[in-house]
Amino acid sequence: MKEHNKSLVDAANQAGATTNKEYATFQNYGYKGLYGGLGAKAIHKRKGLKKSQKILDHMLDHMGSTELAANLFRATQTDEKLRRENIKGVDKANQTHYQVGAVVRNTIKELGALCQRIFQPLKRVFNN
Q: What is the mean pLDDT of residues 41-53?
A: 84
Per-residue confidence at 57, pLDDT binned at 50, 70, 90?
low
Q: What is the mean pLDDT of residues 21-46?
A: 93
- At 128 the pLDDT is 42
Tell me how crowded residue 68 is: count the other CB atoms within 10 A of its CB: 15
* Residue 100 · residue 74 · CB < 8 Å: yes
pLDDT mean over 77-96: 98
Range in 9-18, 33-42, 78-87 with the lowest mean pLDDT = 33-42
* Residue 16, C-beta contacts closer than 8 angstroms, at least 6 positions apart: 22, 88, 89, 90, 93
Other C-beta atoms closer than 10 Å to the C-beta of 63 total: 16
